[in-house]
Amino acid sequence: MAVNIAGKSVSIAAIVAAVGGILAIVAAPLAWISASVGGQSDDVKGLDGGLIGGKIALVLGILVVAVVVAGILNIKIPQSGAVLACLGALILLVVVLVYFTKLVSDESFTTVSDSMKALGGSASLGIGVILAAVGGILAIVGGGLIVAKKA
């Protein structure tokens, strides 16, 4: 199934993948980790210095949109559906790394959460992580639909 956008026939799968890329881009400057203790709260945003994950998600989101736009402009990218699915998987990997490890941030979410609990506070995932995860899932779904359509 396709939709006519500006005189071009664009598949629903490509639109789904593009929305995923846009969500990853939008997620980058938003809060990824929110922590509060003793009435004070603070957010770590995706583009803050100590968190590389937001910057990586931004680049991956731009790549997803670029692949979709290339397809709309009839620029052939071999295995574009697989490329989109892989980029979506990488976005999800970044979210997982932010949550569990210190590979893409100064502190993992689990470490921050444990520290806040020890101080009598709390920590939660910010909207940026949620949007990036949804964006990654949509890019995987869109890419997978493109692969399935060509198979």
* Model pLDDT for residues 40-99, shown as the tens digit of each residue: 888 888 888 777 888 999 999 999 999 999 998 888 889 999 999 999 999 999 999 988
Q: From residue 4, give the alpha-carbon distance in Å to each of 12, 47, 51, 59, 132.
A: 10, 35, 39, 28, 27
**Structure pTM?**
0.88
Copy the structure tokens of residue 114: 């444990």
* Model pLDDT for residues 106-131, shown as the tens digit of each residue: 777 888 888 888 888 888 888 999 99
